[in-house]
């Protein structure tokens, strides 16, 4: 019985670790969608923020995926070099993190790592 429990726990842990590498985001509007950002574009995003010395916004509450960005925070246009699939979004740089935002709902759809 202990052996079965240990095997079950090992399977659960390995499945959880795999699930953490899958990126699926929701827009907060009831529709779910995935935003795929290729590794090369993630590098371009980090480089852009560093080279352009983008200043992080300061807010009372932490800006997190799934929550709306406060109305007093200005959303920035996504530069074309971030890739064509991101052009419909806006972004906010907060706490050394780039957050992609749906401009219609102001909901954070993904944190760019």
pTM tops 0.95: no
Measured CA to CA in angstroms, residue 58 lies from 10, 52, 62, 85 at distances of 42, 18, 9, 27
At residue 83, the pLDDT reads 87
**What domains appear along the chain, each with residue ranges and CATH number?**
25-112 (3.10.450)
pLDDT(12) > 50:
no
In angstroms, the CA 79 to CA 89 distance is 10
Read off the pLDDT of residues 18-39 as tens digits, 9 standing for 90 and up.
333 333 333 334 334 568 888 8
Read off the pLDDT of residues 59-91 as tens digits, 9 standing for 90 and up.
998 999 999 999 999 999 999 999 888 999 999
């Amino acid at each position: 019985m202990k052996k079965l429990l240990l095997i079950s726990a090992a399977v659960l842990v390995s499945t959880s670790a795999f699930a953490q590498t899958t990126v699926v985001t929701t827009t907060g509007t009831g529709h779910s969608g995935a935003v795929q950002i290729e590794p090369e574009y993630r590098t371009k995003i980090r480089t852009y923020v560093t080279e352009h010395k983008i200043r992080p916004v300061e807010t009372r509450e932490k800006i997190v995926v799934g929550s709306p960005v406060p109305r007093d925070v200005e959303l920035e246009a996504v530069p074309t070099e971030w890739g064509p699939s991101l052009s419909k979004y806006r972004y906010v740089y907060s706490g050394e993190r780039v957050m992609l935002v749906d401009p219609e709902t102001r909901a954070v759809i993904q944190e760019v790592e």
